[in-house]
């Protein structure tokens, strides 16, 4: 049996563990601990853990001791696995990824786990990045009692997340994982049930920081963009994303990949994206990857491992749980607030289609983004303003001017119709009541469509106003922007467009043929 992959390994003798502690720390057990459990409270493939109380402070700690001879044992395992990987690379044509590279990445991470000083440094970095949230807990490291083979950290009371009554914290874990993967890029690559605890205070505690990995900065933005393209069913853009993700070399033609993506996702997206689970996406994309020369980077394999483990925990509690649905608020917040040019372009791409602004999409983004506790309407406004008046924003300005005409027209027209309808019939001006259709040449369906459009715009504005940090003073930058020559020109074009369209409608009203007078 491969030694590394056994989960229920027997413990090694306590005498060996205690001797290792004294040898590594250079002092006797009695001088360090007032108490230590005579046998381990937990054991895994690489080591085992004792519960102890420090003599000098009375602090309760967890003491992890490395299994003797583990380097030699797993070295043989990896030698055999790597040889198998070489054979797969050479003879298995349908696997285009470099299997040996994936194995080497995994081996590198495992050997990092054998260095407990490195693990302590990982824990310190993880805590600095993510323990700022009140529902995340990361134990402290006691450096004076830590060495390459002995790790001493704060003892954490709690229950495992695979216990039904605490699985509401799984969503907290997913939100934290999104921050890890897509915000800072430094992530816990082994979030299995034994490494996650629910504390009595209702916090999610992360343990065991041996296996960590990083998402490259370019890939973080590309992943968010990929989700946007998936929502839009923009398969050509999805295929282009694989260059940024380093899945394909620049010389690979993605044209034949587009129909494969379309065939899978059009079938998978019979329901909304939020109803998909992560495993379905992974399986579907895996089928596509096997057909074309994809080379999956090693970090991506660890991302998949991390997310599938978390989804498995969630599905244990709720078979209908969907990771993508739980992730939407984070993606919406990042799209609306992140000033990164890649994400700003993705937002514009999401909101504009066929020359029109998709207010319903913005409404959905605001509704979803506001569910994220870090969402800020203030942050959502500033990057958009900067992009609108940037030197390379001419195309966006043209679209905004066009949309401003539509919005202004909708507000004015519905106000005219509402005012007209409030006038008693006998008092309505004859020229406007000539054929009983109202003040403007519009059918009931047209009036309804324009009214629904106006109401949608009003709802979007209402969502911004209900944001906790919304303050009229936040609009001051907009006033400053409108003082710029280009912005004044923008305003003039809006007014001119509305005036022209209203004049055309009124002229139609005046010139339309009145109904024939019935003869007796």
Give me the residues paired with residue 204 across strands: 136, 198
178-196 confidence digits (pLDDT tens)? 899 999 999 998 887 778 8
What is the pLDDT at residue 477? Answer: 47
Exposed/middle/buried for 115, CB within 10 Å: 0-12, 13-18, 19+? middle
Handedness of CA 182, 188, 192, 197 (dihedral sign): negative
Contact 413, 450 (CB under 8 A): yes
Tokens found for residue 409? 């027209």
500 vs 237, more confident: 237
Query: Mean pLDDT over residues 298-320, rounded?
Result: 79
How far is C-alpha 395 from the chain's CA centre? 28
Exposed/middle/buried for 183, CB within 10 Å: 0-12, 13-18, 19+? middle
pTM of the model: 0.76
Mean pLDDT lowest for which of 9-23, 83-97, 500-514?
Answer: 500-514
- To the nearest 10 degrees (0 to 180), the angle between helices 341-351 and 217-232 is 0
C-alpha–C-alpha distance, residues 265 and 492, integer Å: 44
C-alpha–C-alpha distance, residues 296 and 446, integer Å: 51
**% of residues, the chain, pLDDT over 90:** 20
Tell me which residue has tokens 């298995």: 92
C-alpha–C-alpha distance, residues 151 and 147, integer Å: 6
Q: Quick count: other Cβ atoms within 10 Å of Cβ 461?
A: 11
The pairing of beta strand 150-154 with beta strand 60-66: antiparallel
At residue 206, φ and ψ (nearest 5 deg) are -95, 135
Report the range out of 211-225, 340-354, 462-476 with the highest average pLDDT.
211-225
CA-wise closest residue to 201 among 225, 169, 238, 164 = 169
What is the pLDDT at residue 7? Answer: 38
> 251 to each of 242, 244, 254, how far by Cα in Å?
12, 13, 9
C-alpha–C-alpha distance, residues 133 and 500, integer Å: 53
DSSP helix/strand/coil, 36: strand
What is the pLDDT at residue 185? Answer: 92
Catalytic residue of the set 7, 190, 266, 444: 190
CA-wise closest residue to 242 among 185, 296, 281, 301 = 296
Give me the residues paired with residue 52 across strands: 36, 61
Query: Mean pLDDT over residues 467-477, rounded?
Result: 61
What is the pLDDT at residue 141? Answer: 96
> 236 to each of 233, 240, 484, how far by Cα in Å?
9, 6, 38
71 vs 152, more confident: 152
Query: Mean pLDDT over residues 480-496, rounded?
Result: 56
Mean pLDDT lowest for which of 124-128, 252-256, 398-402?
Answer: 398-402
What is the pLDDT at residue 25? Answer: 95
Report the range out of 79-83, 283-287, 379-383, 503-507 with the highest average pLDDT.
79-83
Contact 228, 200 (CB under 8 A): no
Tokens found for residue 10? 């027997």
What average pLDDT is seen over the chain? 80
114-141 confidence digits (pLDDT tens)? 899 999 999 999 999 998 888 899 999 9
Tokens found for residue 14? 């306590």
Per-residue pLDDT band at 381 (split at 50, 70, 90): low
Residue 506 has pLDDT above 70, yes or no: no
Whether residue 471 lies in the annotated active site: no
263 vs 512, more confident: 263
Tell me which residue has tokens 């996702």: 265
Residue 11's region, left for phi above 0, alpha for psi from -120 to 50, else beta, is: beta
What is the pLDDT at residue 116? Answer: 94
Per-residue pLDDT band at 2 (split at 50, 70, 90): very low
What is the pLDDT at residue 3? Answer: 34
Residue 447 has pLDDT above 80, yes or no: yes
Residue 397 has pLDDT above 80, yes or no: no
Query: Mean pLDDT over residues 458-486, rounded?
Result: 65
167-177 confidence digits (pLDDT tens)? 678 788 888 98
Report the range out of 136-145, 258-267, 441-450, 494-503 with the highest average pLDDT.
136-145
Contact 440, 417 (CB under 8 A): yes
Per-residue pLDDT band at 269 (split at 50, 70, 90): low
Per-residue pLDDT band at 502 (split at 50, 70, 90): low
C-alpha–C-alpha distance, residues 467 and 366, integer Å: 10
Query: Mean pLDDT over residues 258-282, rounded?
Result: 72
Query: Mean pLDDT over residues 291-320, rounded?
Result: 79
């Amino acid at each position: 049996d491969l030694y590394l992959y056994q989960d229920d390994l027997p413990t090694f003798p306590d005498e060996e563990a205690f001797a290792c502690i004294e040898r590594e720390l250079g002092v006797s057990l009695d001088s360090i601990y007032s108490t230590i459990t005579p046998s381990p409270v937990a054991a895994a493939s690489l080591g085992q853990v004792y519960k102890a109380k420090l003599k000098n402070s009375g602090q309760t700690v967890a003491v992890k001791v490395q299994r003797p001879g583990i380097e030699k044992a797993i070295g043989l395992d990896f030698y055999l696995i790597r040889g198998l990987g070489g054979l797969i690379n050479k003879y298995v044509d349908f696997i285009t990824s470099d299997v040996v590279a994936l194995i080497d990445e995994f081996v590198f991470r495992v050997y990092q786990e054998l260095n407990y000083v490195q693990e302590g440094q990982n824990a310190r970095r993880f805590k600095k990045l993510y323990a700022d949230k009140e529902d995340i807990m990361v134990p402290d490291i006691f450096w004076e009692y830590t060495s390459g083979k002995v790790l001493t950290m704060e003892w954490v009371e709690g229950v495992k997340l695979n216990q039904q009554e605490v699985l509401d914290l799984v969503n907290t874990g997913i939100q934290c994982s999104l921050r890890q993967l897509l915000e800072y890029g430094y992530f816990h690559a082994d979030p299995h049930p034994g490494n996650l605890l629910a504390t009595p205070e209702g916090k999610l505690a992360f343990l065991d920081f041996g296996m960590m990995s990083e998402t490259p900065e370019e890939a973080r933005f590309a992943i968010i963009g990929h989700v946007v393209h998936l929502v839009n069913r923009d398969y050509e853009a999805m295929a282009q994303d694989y260059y940024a993700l380093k899945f394909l070399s620049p010389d690979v033609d993605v044209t034949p990949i587009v129909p494969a993506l379309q065939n899978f996702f059009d079938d998978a997206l019979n329901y909304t994206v939020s109803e998909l689970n992560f495993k379905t996406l992974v399986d579907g994309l895996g089928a596509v990857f096997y057909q074309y020369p994809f080379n999956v980077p090693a970090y991506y394999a660890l991302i998949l491992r991390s997310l599938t483990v978390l989804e498995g925990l969630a599905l244990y509690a709720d078979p209908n749980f969907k990771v993508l649905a739980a992730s939407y608020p984070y993606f919406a917040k990042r799209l609306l607030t992140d000033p990164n040019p890649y994400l700003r372009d993705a937002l514009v791409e999401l909101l504009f289609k066929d020359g029109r602004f998709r207010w319903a999409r913005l409404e959905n983004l605001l509704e979803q983004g506001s569910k994220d506790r870090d969402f800020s309407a203030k942050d959502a406004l500033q990057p958009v303003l900067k992009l609108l008046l940037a030197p390379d924003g001419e195309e966006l300005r043209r679209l905004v001017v066009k949309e401003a005409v539509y919005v202004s027209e909708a507000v004015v027209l519905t106000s005219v119709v509402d005012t007209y309808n409030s006038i008693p019939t006998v008092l309505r001006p004859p020229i406007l009541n000539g054929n009983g259709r109202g003040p403007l040449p519009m059918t009931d369906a047209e009036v309804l469509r324009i009214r629904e459009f106006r109401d949608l715009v009003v709802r979007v504005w209402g969502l911004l106003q209900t944001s906790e940090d919304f303050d009229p003073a936040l609009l001051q930058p907009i006033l400053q922007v409108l003082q710029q020559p280009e912005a004044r020109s923008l305003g003039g074009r809006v007014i001119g467009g509305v005036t022209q369209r209203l004049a055309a409608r009124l002229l139609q009203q005046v010139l339309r043929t009145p109904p024939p007078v019935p003869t007796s």
